[in-house]
Amino acid sequence: MDIATSLYNGKLVRLTRIEMEKDPETLAEWSQDATLARMLNETPARPLATEQIKKRLEKTEKEMDEGHNSFYFHIRPLEEEKLVGWGKIYWIVWPSQIGNLQLAIGPTEQNKGYGADALRLFERLAFDELNLNRLTVILPEYNLKGIEFVKRFGFSEEVRRREVILRDGRRWDSLHFGLLHSEWSVNHE
């Protein structure tokens, strides 16, 4: 990577800090969309109030400052201030150079290329700036769009935890996808 290449600006989006005055309201609106929550988490979906979101974001900022093993960003279009998504690299184990990645694009902002551009930024951040050797993405088996998405970016299914999620009267697997630095760098030299 060229030292002058921006870590935070892609072709469509940029990674930004949390805007505590306006972002919690947008995230609270998104929490009303149970589909988004169910695609990201194995825990029960529930709508959250703006104040609940604000407390979670404050906790996230504190954990980043104190733990030094997570990086959380909000995703915005290059020329706009509106929030279109969020992403984080978390559970970083520095001696092993491994971390996990989670990315979400708001329900009304999907299918505009924001997710792909943001994922490229997070991969570059993980591998070039944080010097990680591997990234893991964990998705529920029923998140077919998410699975197709991460596979398109070189992630391979590595672990299948069988029947760990109970949703809608059915048991689903939790899938772990991995991407190694060496696999990523082949396409980014």
Nearest-angstrom CA–CA distance, 122 and 103: 9
Amino acid at 20: M
- pLDDT at residue 4 in the model: 63
Is residue 111 scored above 80 in pLDDT?
Answer: yes
* Fold held by 13-186: Aminopeptidase (3.40.630)
Determine how β-strand 134-140 pairs with β-strand 98-105.
Answer: parallel
Residue that is written with structure tokens 């772990």 in the block: 176
What share of the chain in percent tops pLDDT 70? 97
The gap between the terminal CA atoms of the chain, to the nearest Å, is 7
Please check the confidence at residue 134 and state whether its pLDDT lies above 60: yes
Using a pLDDT cut of 90, give the percent of the chain over it: 84
Closest to 8 measured CA to CA, from 111, 100, 94, 129: 129
Q: Is the pLDDT confidence value at 3 over 60?
A: yes
pLDDT of amino acid 106: 96
pLDDT tops 80 at residue 171: yes
Lookup result for tokens 């609270």: 28
Answer whether residue 146 shows pLDDT above 60.
yes
Give the pLDDT of residue 42: 76
Q: Is 3 exposed, middle or buried (0-12, 13-18, 19+ CB in 10 A)?
A: exposed
Tell me the pLDDT tens digit for each residue of 5-55. 788 999 999 999 999 999 999 999 999 998 888 888 777 888 999 999 999
pLDDT at 181 over 90: yes
Q: Are strands 13-16 and 85-93 parallel, antiparallel or unpaired?
A: unpaired
Count of other CB atoms within 10 angstroms of residue 111? 8
**Amino acid letter, residue 57:** L
pLDDT at 189 over 60: no
Q: pLDDT tens across 45-95, in order?
A: 889 999 999 999 999 999 999 989 999 999 999 999 999 999 999 999 999
pLDDT at 1: 56
Q: Over range 174-188, report the average pLDDT.
A: 93
Alpha-carbon distance of 129 to 123, in angstroms, equals 9
Residue-level pLDDT at 2: 66
- Region for 117 from its dihedrals, namely left if φ exceeds 0, alpha if ψ lies in -120 to 50, beta otherwise: alpha
